[in-house]
Amino acid sequence: QRFQTLASAGNTSAGRMAAVADAENGDCLTYLRRLQEAAAAYEAALEHAGANQHSPTVATHRMQLGLVRQRQGHYTEAAILYEAARHTFELLGDPENTAQAWRQLGMVRKLDGQLLPALQACQQALYLYERQRNRPGIAETLGELGHLHQALNQLEEAVLAYRRMAELYAQLGDGR
């Protein structure tokens, strides 16, 4: 609360610290499955961090709030938050987090029954993970793509994605 008081008085450093504290509270509340309180904490973190800024902190808070909204079943709001985070990460030249945002966007669209947009988002994530040679990211995304192709009755594509995923996990020594 001290940080918030100082931030309200115009202290920008205190504002950043208040944002960090709010995000930490959001993390804890999320782990406790107190999702409404977690959402409020992440919203406060965004407010203190300056939600209109293109910063990695703001984008990360949007991803965190998006995950809470996704868990609450508020898929449209989650998708908007993931999309905003993705845009910021792209502007900042951060391909790892951009890929993660694309993947989350794909997952929330899948949950919302939007299978083709989900497939397109996961394909974007896969492209970025492949460019980075991020084999765990590639493998996880291939699993999502396999599931989406299967749900779309694109069985040959599903088999190819699942086979490639299994090969990668074998190379990584992961027994999934």
Cα torsion angle, 51, 81, 63, 5, sign: positive
Provide the pLDDT for residue 9.
57
The model's pLDDT over 28-61, given as tens digits with 9 standing for 90+, comes to 888 888 888 888 888 888 887 776 778 898 999 9
Cα torsion angle, 122, 126, 128, 134, sign: positive
The model's pLDDT over 91-122, given as tens digits with 9 standing for 90+, comes to 999 999 999 999 999 999 999 999 999 999 99
The answer for residues whose C-beta is within 8 angstroms of residue 47's C-beta and 6 or more apart is: 19
C-alpha to C-alpha distances, 71 to 101, 110, 114, 143, nearest whole angstrom: 16, 13, 17, 20
Stated pTM of the model:
0.84
- CA angle 68/101/152 to nearest 5° reads 90
